[in-house]
Chain A
Amino acid sequence: MHIKRVIPIVFIIIALLYIIFSFTVEERKMIGDVRGWDPGSRAMPIGIGLIILAASIYLSFKEKKAPDQDKKPHDPGIRKLTILTILLCIFFILFFRFLGFIISTHIFLFSLIFLYYKRDIRQSLIPEFSIGLLTCTGVMITFYSIGRFISRYLFLLGRKSEIPVLKSKLATAGAPLVILVILFTVFLIILKNPIKRGKYRVPFIAGFSSIGITEFLYIVFKQIFLVSLVKGLVFW
């Protein structure tokens, strides 16, 4: 069945459930409303539920009558990619606190970039994917550790020498960023030919892109905006 016909039916079910839920909400008037003039906590949810129900019923009839003029043939490859993307997003959220920001973000990005480059997902890709992911995760943790060491060293140096600039965000976030960009560029120059030659092209691109994006996000959110990104398995 075409999605345009499915959506109104799904909304009819949602609207019915929403109306039932609205009736179960405890009916309590506004604090201080002694005479009971306030329409109450249920009024708006019930009204909106009815609007959703009416609109979905109308659309379900209308979409039924409408010809399938814009129905495109489904591409199973794209559908697979979309489902995998959603599953990876769910996996990312569920395991974020256990794996930590660095590892979960890296796995998420590597997997998606790898799959999007390959497009045609087959079982035979598993060895290439696994080896690429493991190798790049090692490199990722090394890059992270170098950056972390530099930040801490600068901070301690700033404390000891009482040079305030070294303790500032500019130094603790900027210095690792510059050093990592240099390291990244050197790696890229050295590995340019193997990347171009073909066999390991996709894991290389996926790995380096994911390492770069993960490090960048870490520096922006953790080191500049002090967001408490979970450490997880990479506890140092």
Chain B
Amino acid sequence: METVITGFLEIFNIQTVLWIALGEILGIILGALPGLTATMGIALMLPISFQLSNATGMALLLGVYCGAVSGASIPAILLGIPGNPNAIATIYDGKAMTDKGLAGQALGGAVVASFIGGITSLIILALFSPIIARFTLAFGPAEKASLALVGLTIIASVASRNLVKGILTGAIGLALSLFGTDPFSNVIRLPFSKLFAKTPLTSGINLIPALIGLFGISQALFDIERIKTGHIAPPQIKIEKIFPSFRKIASMWRLIIESSGIGTLIGAIPGTGASIAVFLSYERAKKITASPKSKLEKVGSGCLEGVFAPEVANNACTGGALIPALTLGIPGDAATAVLLGALMVKGVVPGFRLFTEDLSLVYAIFFALLLANVFMLIFQLAGVRLFPKVLNVPLAVLIPTILILSLIGSYAIQGQAIISATYDMGIALGLGILGYFLKKGDYPIAPIVLGLILGGMLEENFRRAVKLAEGNYFVFFTKPIAVVFIALAIFSVVLPLLKKKKVRE
């Protein structure tokens, strides 16, 4: 009980509440701007969160996360362009409702749906994560190394249509994570090691500048192409009747429960993310409303049901994605990978240790997620007429702002050590350029991040496991849990190949 109160107090103080509110507003703005993702928003806020306490920093990032996932529905409904992939399925009925003159109801409905999804997934997160975390007690080095392998293979196979591209970028992430100094023997592992021996690079590639570069700078460079087309201003629409009636919401109970379940479950599977969950829930809602017994309006005809289903599901992913991140150290999607990186940089180790030694932080994260969802509801409903104006921000100002925020943000992480901080800017830029070219070539970025995060865990546990097994490399096949993980890793690689073969046939 004491830890619950400590966690509560860490969030419900003026400073943290204000940071969550700020994060929420920024998140909604970033989410509403087409092309800018929740992951990028979190990456840009990392330097600020780094200056705050663990709980307050995480609260700020969770505010951005929830706001960005929910804010993406604004351009999807008004313009028919999703703010980010999480709102792809909201377009169909959302835009149709706008065309019918029901933009207010669609925007309000999307907010309420996001709130319901977010809260439901939070309850599931709070109920199940301690149980899963307890399970990790049985993990030794062999199990941990296999778990890291599963995380990498799943994200590599799901993040891209091309499995090999996913594997390649995951391996690049691993290669980058190995630069620096060998954790066991202190050997410097850098090309031209004599040249770089006295530089900050000997401590490896810092995670936060890498994340900022991969998600912030690469996206900004990628968006330069959109400058020629300019920004698309929202149409002048009267926004009325925002809040959907309670009776209408209650009538959609089945759709809400199923979408919450789909969102949380899909979110909890590493590498999947909200873009898959929204389509699944939309398709499910189509089937429910198409039934002759159903009294609901048919999804696809421009109705609230078609907005509710994907919006419940995408925000349900937020809590779902945190389940494997907090308990196993394997993020559910790219955004939680960045959240996980923020925790790990501060020395917080996910898993059972987090749930025993730092339980108050776990509760603080739960309370922060609760408050972030409440703020999302309040701010989005209050600003339903205001936030669409964000779409007027010209790209010519937005892109340089993102670039400078990324560079100065990378610098600020080690802001007291000027030389190291300048190197960090270089790392962010280098990885930003790499991310840009990979995006151009249709390569996924998320596996690089996971490689960077899991590289250390994989190497340390792999070497420890082999050493403990007296040099036996087959030790991974002698431990039941490790065998399950390896089977899962093989399954995650083979399944997409089989699917592809079936499609061809």
Question: A41, A59, A105, A228: which has the most chain B beta carbons within 10 Å?
Answer: A41
Q: Does B425 contact A (CB under 8 A)?
A: yes
- Contact pick for A75, options B167, B178, B228, B407, CB 8 Å: B228
At the interface, yes or no: B2 with Cβ under 8 Å from chain A? no
Closest partner residue, chain B, to A30 (CB atom) = B184
**Interface segment, one of A81-89, A123-131, A141-149, A180-188:** A81-89
Q: Contact flags (1/0) for B203-236 with A, using CB distance below 8 Å?
A: 0000000000000010001001101100000000
**Interface residue? A4 (CB, 8 A):** yes
Kindly supply a per-residue 1/0 record for chain A positions 16-51, scoring 1 wherever the CB is within 8 Å of any chain B CB and 0 otherwise.
Answer: 011001000110111101011111110111001101
A214 nearest CB neighbor, chain B only: B404
Please give, as numbers and ranges, the residues of chain A lying within 8 Å of B47 by CB-CB distance.
221
> Which chain B residues (361-420) contact chain A, with CB distance < 8 Å?
395-397, 399-401, 403-405, 407-408, 411-412, 415-416, 418
A137 interface residue (CB < 8 Å to B): no
CB atoms of A39 and B175 under 8 A apart: no
Do the beta carbons of B221 and A86 come within 8 Å of each other? Answer: yes
Q: Is the interface of A mostly helix, strand, loop or mixed?
A: helix
Number of B positions contacting A (CB below 8 A): 65
Cβ B418 vs Cβ A213 within 8 A: no
Q: Mark A116-137, 1 if CB is under 8 A from B, else 0.
A: 1101000000000000000000
List CB contacts (< 8 Å) of A192-229 with chain B.
Answer: 205, 209-210, 213, 217, 220-221, 225-229
Complex contact B463–A92 (CB within 8 A): no
A78 contacts chain B at the CB level, 8 A cutoff: yes
Q: How far is the CA of A83 from the CA of B418 in the complex (A)?
A: 27
B352 at the interface (CB under 8 A from A): no
Tell which of B167, B412, B473 touches A51, judged by Cβ atoms closer than 8 Å: B167
Q: Is B442 interfacial (CB 8 A cutoff)?
A: yes
In the bound assembly, the distance between CA atoms of A44 and B48 in angstroms comes to 34
- The answer, yes or no, to whether A3 is at the interface (CB within 8 Å) is yes
Verify if A90 is at the interface (C-beta below 8 Å from B).
Answer: yes
Give the CA-CA distance A4 to B165 in the complex, in Å.
11
Please tell me which one of the listed residues B184, B422, B425, B438 contacts residue A38 in the complex, with CB atoms under 8 A apart.
B184
B168 lies within 8 A of A55 (CB): yes
State whether B227 touches A81 (Cβ < 8 A): yes
Is A154 in the interface zone, CB < 8 Å from B? no
Contacts of A58 in B (CB 8 A): 164
A217 touches B405 (CB 8 A): yes
Interface status of A171 (Cβ within 8 A of chain B): no
Partner of A93, one of B422, B462, B466: B422
Chain A nearest CB from B195 CB (Å) reads 13
Point out the residues of chain A lying under 8 angstroms from B48, CB to CB: 220, 225
Please, how many angstroms separate the alpha-carbon atoms of A36 and B399 in the complex? 53
Q: How far is the CA of A57 from the CA of B412 in the complex (A)?
A: 39
A99 CB-CB contact with B under 8 Å: no
Asked if B471 is at the interface (CB within 8 A of a chain A CB), the reply is yes
CA–CA, A108 to B220, complex, Å? 15
Known contacts: A55-B167, A113-B397, A227-B415. The answer to whether A93 contacts B189 by CB under 8 A is no
A81 adjacent to B401 (CB under 8 Å)? no
Contact of B228 among A29, A78, A85 (CB under 8 A): A78
Contacts of A39 in B (CB 8 A): 462-463, 466, 473
**Contact yes or no, A4 B429, CB < 8 A:** no
- Taking CB atoms, residues of chain B closer than 8 Å to A6 are 441
Task: Given A30-B185, A97-B418, check contact A52 B175 (CB 8 Å).
Answer: yes
Given A217-B404, A227-B411 in contact, is the A35-B470 Cβ separation under 8 Å? yes
Residues of B within 8 A of A85 (CB): 221, 224, 399, 403
Alpha-carbon distance A28/B181, docked complex (angstroms): 12
Cβ contact within 8 Å between A7 and B437: yes
Contacting residues, chain B, for A89 (C-beta < 8 A): 217, 403, 407, 429, 432
Say yes or no: is A77 at the interface (Cβ < 8 Å to chain B). yes
Cβ proximity bits A65-79 to B, threshold 8 Å, 1 near / 0 not: 000000000010110
CA distance A81 to B174 in the complex (A): 32
Give the Cβ gap from B15 to chain A, nearest Cβ, in Å: 11
A150 interfacial contact with B, CB 8 Å: no
- Could you say which residues of chain A place their CB within 8 Å of the CB of B51? 225, 227
Contact with A along B430-443 (1 / 0, CB 8 A): 00110001101111
A95 to B48, CA, bound (A): 24
User: Do residues A49 and B175 form an inter-chain contact, with CB atoms below 8 A?
Assistant: yes
Q: What's the nearest-Cβ distance from chain A to residue B30, in Å?
A: 16
* Closest beta carbon of chain A to B470's beta carbon, Å: 5
Q: Is there an interface contact between A3 and B178, defined as CB atoms closer than 8 Å? A: no
Q: Tell whether, in the assembled complex, residue B404 and residue A105 are in contact, meaning their CB atoms are under 8 Å apart.
A: yes
Whether B433 pairs with A86 at a CB distance below 8 angstroms is yes
Contact B221 A112 (CB under 8 A): no
CA distance A71 to B396 in the complex (A): 26
**When the two chains form their complex, are residues A37 and B175 in contact, meaning their CB atoms are under 8 A apart?**
no
The answer for the CA separation of A51 and B165 in the assembled complex, in Å, is 11
Contact of B337 with A by CB under 8 A: no
Residues A109 and B404 in contact, CB atoms below 8 Å apart: yes
- Contacting residues, chain B, for A26 (C-beta < 8 A): 187-188
A38: chain B residues at CB < 8 Å are: 184, 463, 466-467
Judge if B426 is at the interface, Cβ distance under 8 Å: yes
Partner pick for A112 among B172, B188, B400, CB 8 A cutoff: B400
Bound-complex Cα distance A108 to B415 (A): 20
Q: Residue of A at shortest CB range from B156?
A: A55
Residue from A81, A89, A220 with most neighbouring chain B CB atoms (10 Å): A89
Is A59 in contact with B185, judged by CB distance below 8 angstroms? no
Task: Determine whether B445 belongs to the interface, using a CB cutoff of 8 Å to chain A.
Answer: no
Q: A35-B470, A75-B228 are in contact. Are A29 and B422 (CB under 8 A)?
A: no
Other A-B contacts than A41-B182, A77-B228, A89-B217, 10 sampled, CB-CB below 8 A, are A37-B471, A52-B171, A86-B433, A112-B399, A113-B396, A119-B227, A225-B51, A227-B415, A227-B416, A229-B411
Q: Top 4 nearest A-B pairs by Cβ distance? A: A227-B415, A116-B396, A37-B471, A112-B400
Task: Pull 16 A–B residue pairs with CB atoms less than 8 Å apart, ordered by A.
Answer: A6-B441, A26-B187, A37-B471, A38-B467, A39-B473, A41-B187, A44-B458, A56-B168, A75-B228, A89-B403, A108-B400, A119-B227, A217-B405, A217-B408, A225-B412, A228-B416
